[in-house]
Chains A and B, each alone.
Chain A
C-alpha cells in the first residue's frame, strides 16, 4: 500500500493554525534539504481555500485530491470538528493516504480527549508523534 515518495502531513486548526506537522521521506533516501521546508507550509496553507470549498460538496471526510502545485499533490481530510488534515505528496497513493488519515483521525480523537489538551493548540505529545511516525511508515513511505 505504501508508495515511497515524499510526504508532508499537517493538522490544521480552526484559525488556520498548524497544530501538528510531520514530513515523511522514503527510508532509503536522505531527507530533503531544509531550505524548502517553508514551501510545504505555503502549499498546505494555500490549499486550505480549496479544502474549505470542497468539503461542502461531499459527505465524506476524505476529500481526495484538492489541489496541486508543481510536483506536489494535496490531499485533504476534514474531521467532524472541522479540523483539517492536509497531506502533500509527490506520488499518487490514494489508498495509503486514506488509511493514514483514518488512523491519524483516531489518534487525534484520542489525543483530543485528554482533558489537559486545549483544543486548537499545538500537539506536543511524544506519543502522538510516535504514532504519526508509525502510520507514516506503514501507509506512506513504507
Chain B
C-alpha cells in the first residue's frame, strides 16, 4: 500500500502550519555552528508541541490543539527561482530512497483473476517532493497561511553588546515590516509578535552576565517576550557520537533550500544589516573545506534584484515552463555531496538538558506568546470583520443582485484588493483560525469570504477561499465536507486563473482527502487531470499516484494500474529520472508478463533495457534485452516487430552484452549465456564412431552404416533386427534388450550413456534456428565439454580429446542450420557435453554499409555459450508418472570412452539400382577388419530373408530332374530367423584380414522399393559387461519394376497312378496326381528397362509332389502384354523322411537355371517369418505338456486336411536382357491346397472369385460354441473320395433285336483319407438321403439323356476303409444307339463317426466323369465294331 507517513489530517495541518520568522545575529549563529547547525536548524526538530494546548476562540470558548507545529524560517529565506525550484524538486525525487516493494495479491487468491504483484508500500519520493514543493512556494497575496505570524530575534550572550545587536535587529525588522507590501518577506499583519531570544553558550559565556542582559531585555521588551536559551553544555572536542541525531532527517529536506537561503542573505548584506556575513552554508563548515566560509553563491541562484517578479504578485509563478532539466547537468554543482555512509553528526555540543531547554523555549514561545498573540489577533480581526460586514452586507447584496450569480467563466483576475479590505480581513481571520485548529470557525469565515470573492468575480481569491473552506470542513468533520468545493477550486485554478502551482497544491491536498474518504477513482482522476505536456516530472509523479489509487481502490484495477505505471515510467524517463522510470516499468510489467501482448512487452523491455544500461545496471539491462530477442518462450505469440526494429533490438542486445562481459562478468565462470540463435536441444544428434572408409576403387561402395546425412532410419526395424541378432548370437532369450546405439537422436532410447572406443570420433549435430527477421553471423562454434580421464587426473582435456571447431556461417532471417562438431577422444574416460560456444554478431547490412562506408565499423562481436539440455520422452507407466510430468533420463551427451575396439568395414561391388520383379542377382562383398582387435564371431541379419541371402561359399544342388534334398540341404525351407552366421576362416578375422562373400538378391514380386537391410554383428574383445558386440548397418533401396505375373491353378485329377518313388519296388501304393495350369503374363510397363522375358524352365519343391510335364515345353518369349500357358502334372513322390524336400526342376529346351542360388529362394518362398516389428508370440502354456494321444476326430481331421493339401511351390525361371546384360529371375507360387488358384504379384487378384462371406450377423443365430469343432467345415471336406470308372469300350448292340442295351461297368471308389468313410452314391440324382428338398424341385432331368438310365441300385451306400478301394458295379440301359456321356452323379462322403456330431453335414460331390460311351447299331450285313 502506498501509504503516506502522515494521515491526511496531520498532513493538512502541517501544510498550513503557522510560520514564524527568525532573525538571528551572526554571533548567535556562530554559537550554534559548533553543532554543525544553524539556529534555525537547531530548533527544527523541536517545533512540534507534543502536549495539548488550548486556544480561546472569539467567543471565549477554549478549544484544544493537539500537536501544534510551528514552522520557524529564516526571515531572509527566499523561495528559489522557478528553474532552480525545478532542479530542487527533481533532485529531491532522485535522492529519496525507496523501500523494498512488497507482494500483494490482487483479486481473490486462487482464482483465475488473482495476480501477485510487487507493489511499492510507500512513495517516499512523492512525499518528499510534495513537502519540497510546498516549501518552495512563494507566499501569495490572496492567502495568508504562508505569511509570518511572528518574528524571533536571536542574539548571542557572548557578543560585545547583545542589546545593541538586538536593537539593530529590531530596526532591521521594522524596516522589513514597513516596506512596500509586494516585497519579501510577507507578514501576516503589520502588528506581528516580536520575540527576543538570548542564546547563551554554557562553556564559553558567563551566565551571570547573560542573566543581566536578559533582565535588561525583559525590561525593554516585556518579560513575556524574552527568553534565554542555554546551549553547548558539552565541550566541543569530545563529541560523543552515540547521541541520537534528530536533525538529520530535517536537514536532508532542508538542504535543498539552502542555496537560496544563502543567496538571499547575500541580498540583504547590501542593506548593512548585522547579519551580512552569515552567509556560509552551515553544512560546509565541518565538511573539510571549512576554511572557505565565504562560499560563492550558487551560479544558478537568482540574482538579487529579480526576486520579486510580476508572478509573485498574485502568488503564482509557473513552475512548468518548457525548460527541461537535462539530467546530466548536475543540480547544485558546487554543493559538496556528503559521502553516503558517513553521515555528519550534528549537535555534538548539546547535552540532553540542552535539548530539553530548546524544547522548553519552543513551548514557552508558543504558549506564552504566540497563542495569546493569536487570540488577540483573532478577536481583533473578528471585531473588524463583523463590524464591517454589517455595513457592507447591503452593498454587496445590491451588487450581487445587479450582477447576478456569475460562475467563473472567462473572467480575468482584474480585482485587486487593498491589504486592509474587508474581504481580505475575513480571509486572514479564517486562515488564522485554520492554522490554530479552529476549523469550524474557519469554515464559516472561508464561506463568507468565498461568497464575497465570487460576487466580486475575484476568481483566484474565490478559488483559494473555496479550497480552504472545503479543507476546513474536512478537518472539522472528515465524513461530511463539500466535495464540489475542491473540484471547483481545482477547476478554477487550472482553467480560469491558470495558476498551476495552486492547482498542484489543491490536487495534492484533495488527493489526500479523497483517498482518506476511500474515493480512489476520484483521486486518480484528480491526479490524471494534472498531467500535461509541459512538466514531465510532475506528470510522472501524478500518473504514478493515480496508478496507486487504481490498485488500492476497493475493487482494484490492476490493468489500469499497469497502464498508468507505464505512462509514469515514460514520463520519468523523459524527466531524466531513470531509476524511477526503471522501477515503474518493472512494476508495470508484472501485469503484462507472458500474456501475449507482445508489442507492449517489447516496448517495456526495450525501455527497461535502455534505462538499466544508462544506469549501469548492465545485468538488468541484459535481462531485459534478452527477453526482447529471446524467442524461446514466444511460440504462441511471435514477435510482431518490423525487421528494422528487430535489428535495433539485436544491436542493443549485443552492445549491452559486450559491455556486460567486459565489465561485470567473471571469466572464471565460463562464458555467459546467449539467447540467440535458438538451439533446439532435443534435435541434437550424436553420431558415435567414424563413417565407413571410402574404398579405393570407385566401383565398390561402402556399407551405408549410420550417418547424419542419411534420411532418418526406421529405428524400430533396426532394433528388432538387432534383437534377433543378439538373441541368435547368444543363443538364449534376453530378458532386457537394449539396443547398441550409434546414432542417438530424440527418438532413440537414451537412458544408457553411449559408449565410443577411443580414437573414433564423436560427431554432434546441433540445430540452430534464427527466429528473428534479422540476419546473424555465427563464428567459431565449439563444443563446451568436460573430459574426465579414467583413473588418472583428467586435467589435460585438450590433449585427451581432439576437438575441431566449426568456422562459422551466416544465419539468414528465419533460417535453420545444422552445425556438426567433432570430438576425437584419445584416452579412456568420460566426456560430458554441456553446450556450444560461439561468436555472435549482426550480419553487416550491405546496403547501409555502402551508404556510409566511413561509419560502417565492424559489427560488435560477442562470444557466449548456450547449454544443450536434453530430456527423454515423457513417462506414463506408474501412477506418479501419470499424475505428474516425469521425463525419462537422456544420456546422449554423456559419452563413455572405451579402449579401442575391433571395427569392420564392408564394401559391396555393383549393387544394381534397378531390378525387375523376381530378378536375381549376386553382388560381391568384402568384409575387412580395420580395427586393432580381431573378430571371432560374425553374424548377419537381413530383414527379408525371402529375398536376400549372403553366402561365403556356394552350395550346389544335384543335377537331377527330381531329387530329394536331405534335411540339411533343405534347411532354407524351414528358416525361422533372420540371422545367419557367416563362417570365418580359422574362426577368427585378424586385424587387416578380409573375407569375401556373395550377396544374393532376389527382387520381390511386388514392384516398388526393395529395401535391403543388412545388419552385421561382430563381437569385440572388450571383456567388460558393456558393449560386447558392435554393429554395422547397410541399407540399400532398389527400385523394382514390373515384370511377369504368374498364375497357377491346381485341379484335382481323378486319376490314380502308382506313385513315383526313389525305389520303384519299395511301395507300389496308389498315388494321386493333380493338374497344374500355369499362366505367365508379361505385365511390364512399356518404358521399363526390360521389355521381353523368356520363360526358360520350371521347378517345384514340396514335401511329396514333383512336377512332370505332359509334353515337351519350349522356351517362350513374352513381349509386353503377351502371355503363355502351360499345363503340367503334379505327381506325388513318396517321401519317407519328414525333413526332406522333393525338388524337381524342368528346364525347357534351350533354357538353363538362373544362377546357383535359385533353389534357395525357391525354397524360401514357403517361409513366411512373422513381421519384423510383430510382437513375439506369447509362450504357449501347453508347450511343455506332453500332448494327449489324438482322438479319432483329430486324426480324421488331419486326414481330411491332408487329402486336400498340395503345399507345393511352383517356380518358373525366366531370363531377360537389360542394357546388354543378361538377367535371370524366377517367379514362385506357393500352392497350399488342391483346387486353389494363386496369382503373383498378388495385387493382380482383382477378377478372381473371392470366397463368399456369410452375412454379418449382429445377433448370433446360435450360441457360439465354446469348443469349436475341430472338423473342418463341410466346404473344406472335398476330395475325400476319388472316383474312377473302368469303362467298357465302344460296343455294338442290335437295337432292332433287343430294344435295350445293357452296359455294365465298374466304378472304382478310392478313399483318399485315413478315416472310415461312408459314401452315398446316387446315380439317379433324386432323393439324396440327407437333402430332402434339393432334388425334387428340379424341373428338368439333370441326366445327360433320357435314353440312358441307370438301373439296379442307383443309390448306394458304400463304406470305405482307410485308403481303401471299392469297386461298385454299375449297370445302365440304353434304348438307342449313340454316344452317351455317362453323366454326372452325386457322391456324398461322410465320416463314419459323423453321425454323433449333428453339426456335420455331408456335402454332395458332383462327380462328372468325363467319359462317353458309344453304342452302335450292329450292322446286320457286316458285323463290325467301331471303336471310338
Q: Do A and B come from one complex?
A: yes
Query: Which residues from chain A sit less than 8 Å from chain B, CB to CB?
Result: 14-18, 34, 37-38, 40-43, 45-50, 53, 121-122
Asked if B645 is at the interface of the complex by the 8 Å CB criterion, the answer is yes
Most buried by A among B563, B603, B640: B563
Q: Which of B112, B555, B559, B600 contacts A15 (CB 8 A)?
A: B112
Known contacts A15-B112, A53-B555, A122-B637; A45 and B562 CB within 8 A of each other: yes
Asked if B912 is at the interface of the complex by the 8 Å CB criterion, the answer is no
Is the Cβ of B563 less than 8 Å from the Cβ of A43? yes
Is the Cβ of B563 less than 8 Å from the Cβ of A45? yes
**Nearest A residue to B592, CB-CB:** A45
**Nearest B residue to A49, CB-CB:** B557
Is the Cβ of A41 less than 8 Å from the Cβ of B562? no
Is the Cβ of A46 less than 8 Å from the Cβ of B599? no
Is the Cβ of B642 less than 8 Å from the Cβ of A34? yes
Is the Cβ of B563 less than 8 Å from the Cβ of A38? no
As a 0/1 sequence over residues 73 to 96 of chain B, the CB contacts with chain A under 8 angstroms (1 = contact) are 000000000000000000000000
Known contacts A34-B645, A41-B600, A122-B596; A14 and B562 CB within 8 A of each other: no
**Nearest A residue to B604, CB-CB:** A38
At the interface, is chain B mostly helix, strand, loop or mixed?
helix
Q: Which of A17, A48, A53 contacts B596 (CB 8 A)?
A: A17
Known contacts A14-B112, A16-B595; A46 and B559 CB within 8 A of each other: yes
Nearest-neighbour CB distance to chain A for B601, whole angstroms, equals: 9
Is the Cβ of B636 less than 8 Å from the Cβ of A122? yes
Q: Which 3 A-B pairs have the closest CB atoms?
A: A46-B563, A38-B599, A49-B557
Q: Within 8 Å CB of B557, what residues of A?
A: 49-50
Q: Within 8 Å CB of A16, what residues of B?
A: 559, 595
The tally of CB-CB contacts under 8 A between chains A and B is: 55
Q: Within 8 Å CB of A38, what residues of B?
A: 599-600, 602-603
Q: How many angstroms from the CA of A15 to the CA of B597 in the assembled complex?
A: 11
Q: Which of B930-988 contact A (CB under 8 A)?
A: none
Is the Cβ of A49 less than 8 Å from the Cβ of B560? yes
Q: Within 8 Å CB of B640, what residues of A?
A: 37
**Nearest A residue to B550, CB-CB:** A49
**Nearest B residue to A124, CB-CB:** B636
Known contacts A14-B112, A121-B636; A41 and B559 CB within 8 A of each other: no
Is the Cβ of B566 less than 8 Å from the Cβ of A42? yes
As a 0/1 sequence over residues 280 to 298 of chain B, the CB contacts with chain A under 8 angstroms (1 = contact) are 0000000000000000000
**Nearest B residue to A52, CB-CB:** B113
Asked if B558 is at the interface of the complex by the 8 Å CB criterion, the answer is yes
Nearest-neighbour CB distance to chain A for B209, whole angstroms, equals: 72
Q: Within 8 Å CB of A18, what residues of B?
A: 595-597, 637
Nearest-neighbour CB distance to chain A for B643, whole angstroms, equals: 11
Is the Cβ of A41 less than 8 Å from the Cβ of B636? no
Q: Within 8 Å CB of B555, what residues of A?
A: 53
Q: Within 8 Å CB of B559, what residues of A?
A: 16, 45-49
Q: How many angstroms from the CA of A42 to the CA of B599 in the assembled complex?
A: 9
Most buried by B among A38, A47, A53, A122: A38
Q: Within 8 Å CB of A41, what residues of B?
A: 597, 599-600
Q: Within 8 Å CB of A49, what residues of B?
A: 550, 557-560
Q: How many angstroms from the CA of A7 to the CA of B560 in the assembled complex?
A: 21
Nearest-neighbour CB distance to chain A for B134, whole angstroms, equals: 30
Given contacts A34-B642, A38-B602, 9 further A-B contacts (CB under 8 A): A15-B112, A37-B640, A41-B597, A41-B600, A45-B559, A45-B563, A46-B560, A48-B559, A50-B560
Interface size on B, residues (CB 8 A): 25
Nearest-neighbour CB distance to chain B for A124, whole angstroms, equals: 10
Most buried by B among A14, A40, A46, A50: A46
**Nearest B residue to A15, CB-CB:** B595
**Nearest B residue to A43, CB-CB:** B563
Q: How many angstroms from the CA of A15 to the CA of B114 in the assembled complex?
A: 10
14 intermolecular pairs with C-beta atoms under 8 Å apart? A17-B595, A17-B597, A18-B596, A37-B599, A37-B640, A38-B599, A38-B602, A41-B597, A42-B563, A42-B603, A45-B562, A46-B560, A46-B563, A48-B559
Q: Within 8 Å CB of B563, what residues of A?
A: 42-43, 45-46
**Nearest B residue to A10, CB-CB:** B597
Q: Within 8 Å CB of B645, what residues of A?
A: 34
Q: Within 8 Å CB of A15, what residues of B?
A: 112, 595
**Nearest A residue to B558, CB-CB:** A49
Q: Which of B787-831 contact A (CB under 8 A)?
A: none
As a 0/1 sequence over residues 621 to 646 of chain B, the CB contacts with chain A under 8 angstroms (1 = contact) are 00000000000000011001010010
Is the Cβ of A45 less than 8 Å from the Cβ of B597? yes
Q: Within 8 Å CB of B560, what residues of A?
A: 46, 49-50
Most buried by A among B591, B600, B602, B603: B600
Most buried by A among B559, B591, B642: B559
Q: How many angstroms from the CA of A37 to the CA of B603 in the assembled complex?
A: 10
Q: Which of B538-556 contact A (CB under 8 A)?
A: 550, 555
Q: Within 8 Å CB of B595, what residues of A?
A: 15-18
Nearest-neighbour CB distance to chain B for A15, whole angstroms, equals: 6
Is the Cβ of B600 less than 8 Å from the Cβ of A45? yes
Nearest-neighbour CB distance to chain A for B570, whole angstroms, equals: 10
Q: Within 8 Å CB of A53, what residues of B?
A: 555
Q: Within 8 Å CB of A50, what residues of B?
A: 557, 560
**Nearest B residue to A51, CB-CB:** B559
Q: How many angstroms from the CA of A45 to the CA of B593 in the assembled complex?
A: 12
Nearest-neighbour CB distance to chain A for B759, whole angstroms, equals: 51
Q: Within 8 Å CB of A45, what residues of B?
A: 559, 562-563, 591-592, 597, 600
Is the Cβ of A46 less than 8 Å from the Cβ of B602? no
**Nearest A residue to B600, CB-CB:** A41
**Nearest B residue to A67, CB-CB:** B560
Q: How many angstroms from the CA of A49 to the CA of B560 in the assembled complex?
A: 7
**Nearest B residue to A40, CB-CB:** B599
Q: How many angstroms from the CA of A46 to the CA of B112 in the assembled complex?
A: 18
Q: How many angstroms from the CA of A106 to the CA of B639 in the assembled complex?
A: 29
Nearest-neighbour CB distance to chain A for B598, whole angstroms, equals: 8
Q: Within 8 Å CB of B592, what residues of A?
A: 45
Nearest-neighbour CB distance to chain A for B112, whole angstroms, equals: 6
Q: How many angstroms from the CA of A18 to the CA of B595 in the assembled complex?
A: 7
Q: How many angstroms from the CA of A115 to the CA of B600 in the assembled complex?
A: 31
Nearest-neighbour CB distance to chain A for B569, whole angstroms, equals: 12
Q: How many angstroms from the CA of A40 to the CA of B600 in the assembled complex?
A: 9
Q: How many angstroms from the CA of A55 to the CA of B284 in the assembled complex?
A: 63
Q: How many angstroms from the CA of A49 to the CA of B551 in the assembled complex?
A: 11
Nearest-neighbour CB distance to chain B for A36, whole angstroms, equals: 10
**Nearest A residue to B557, CB-CB:** A49
Most buried by A among B555, B564, B597: B597
Q: Within 8 Å CB of A48, what residues of B?
A: 559
Q: Within 8 Å CB of A122, what residues of B?
A: 596, 636-637
Nearest-neighbour CB distance to chain A for B599, whole angstroms, equals: 4
Q: Within 8 Å CB of B558, what residues of A?
A: 49
Q: Within 8 Å CB of B562, what residues of A?
A: 45-46
Nearest-neighbour CB distance to chain A for B873, whole angstroms, equals: 22
Q: Within 8 Å CB of B602, what residues of A?
A: 38
**Nearest B residue to A34, CB-CB:** B642
Q: How many angstroms from the CA of A100 to the CA of B560 in the assembled complex?
A: 26
Q: How many angstroms from the CA of A43 to the CA of B636 in the assembled complex?
A: 22
**Nearest B residue to A69, CB-CB:** B563
Nearest-neighbour CB distance to chain A for B773, whole angstroms, equals: 13
Q: How many angstroms from the CA of A42 to the CA of B570 in the assembled complex?
A: 13
Nearest-neighbour CB distance to chain B for A56, whole angstroms, equals: 11
Q: Within 8 Å CB of A17, what residues of B?
A: 595-597
Nearest-neighbour CB distance to chain A for B535, whole angstroms, equals: 18
Q: Within 8 Å CB of A121, what residues of B?
A: 636
Q: Within 8 Å CB of A43, what residues of B?
A: 563
Q: How many angstroms from the CA of A49 to the CA of B599 in the assembled complex?
A: 20
**Nearest B residue to A18, CB-CB:** B596
Q: Within 8 Å CB of B597, what residues of A?
A: 17-18, 41, 45
Is the Cβ of A42 less than 8 Å from the Cβ of B600? yes
Q: How many angstroms from the CA of A49 to the CA of B112 in the assembled complex?
A: 14
Most buried by A among B550, B595, B596: B596
Q: How many angstroms from the CA of A85 to the CA of B560 in the assembled complex?
A: 18
Q: How many angstroms from the CA of A34 to the CA of B648 in the assembled complex?
A: 14
Nearest-neighbour CB distance to chain B for A71, whole angstroms, equals: 14
